[in-house]
Every structure is written in C-alpha cells, then in structure tokens.
C-alpha cells in the first residue's frame, strides 16, 4: 500500500537529510520509513516527523522502497510532499 503511495506521489524526497529539512519546513504530508534500515539512520527523521505531527508509515524493505521511488538503490526514508 505505502509503496503504491510513493510511486503515485507527484513529488517525493528521498534520503534522511533532505527529508529532515523538508519536515522542518512543513512540506511533508507523509513519511515512509523502511523497517530494514539502520535505526541510527532513521531515528532522527522519525523523531522530527513526530515533532512536526507528520504521520509515519513503515514498509518492510529499503530495496522495494527505492524501487518505488524509481532509483536503483535502497531508500531508508521517503517524504511525500504536500
């Protein structure tokens, strides 16, 4: 379900650093985080999403998340832009 949301979104941001910046700027409507990503990598972006009251959805695979973004590598976090 969330993979479909990512692939159908008109605008996304891939990667934790850019996602944290977008969250702080109030641009994100939904955060999608891969469960198999390193917790050290995803903890800051999840914490920021919680602080900004942005819903967080989890998916099982970084590889599938990256593929749904149209990239060849795995993605730990993806922000769907409002």
> 2: pLDDT confidence band, cut at 50, 70 and 90?
confident
Indicate the number of domains in the chain. Answer: 1
The boundaries of the domain holding residue 40 are 2-81
Q: Which structure tokens are listed for 3?
A: 């993979």
**Average pLDDT in the chain:** 94
Q: Could you tell me the pLDDT band of residue 15, with boundaries at 50, 70 and 90?
A: confident
The CATH number assigned to the domain holding 16 equals 3.30.1330.30
Give the C-alpha separation, 36 to 62, whole Å: 6
Phi, psi of 58 (to 5 degrees): -110, 145
pTM of the model: 0.93
Inter-residue contact 6 to 69 (CB < 8 Å): yes
Answer positive or negative: Cα dihedral of 69, 36, 20, 16: negative
């Amino acid at each position: 379900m969330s993979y479909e949301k990512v692939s159908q979104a008109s605008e996304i941001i891939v990667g934790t650093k850019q996602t944290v910046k977008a969250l702080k700027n109030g641009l994100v409507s939904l955060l999608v985080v891969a469960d198999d990503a390193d917790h050290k990598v995803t903890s800051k972006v999840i914490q920021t999403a919680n602080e900004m009251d942005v819903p967080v959805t989890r998916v099982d695979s970084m590889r599938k998340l990256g593929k749904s973004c149209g990239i060849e590598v795995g993605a730990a976090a993806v922000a769907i832009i409002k």
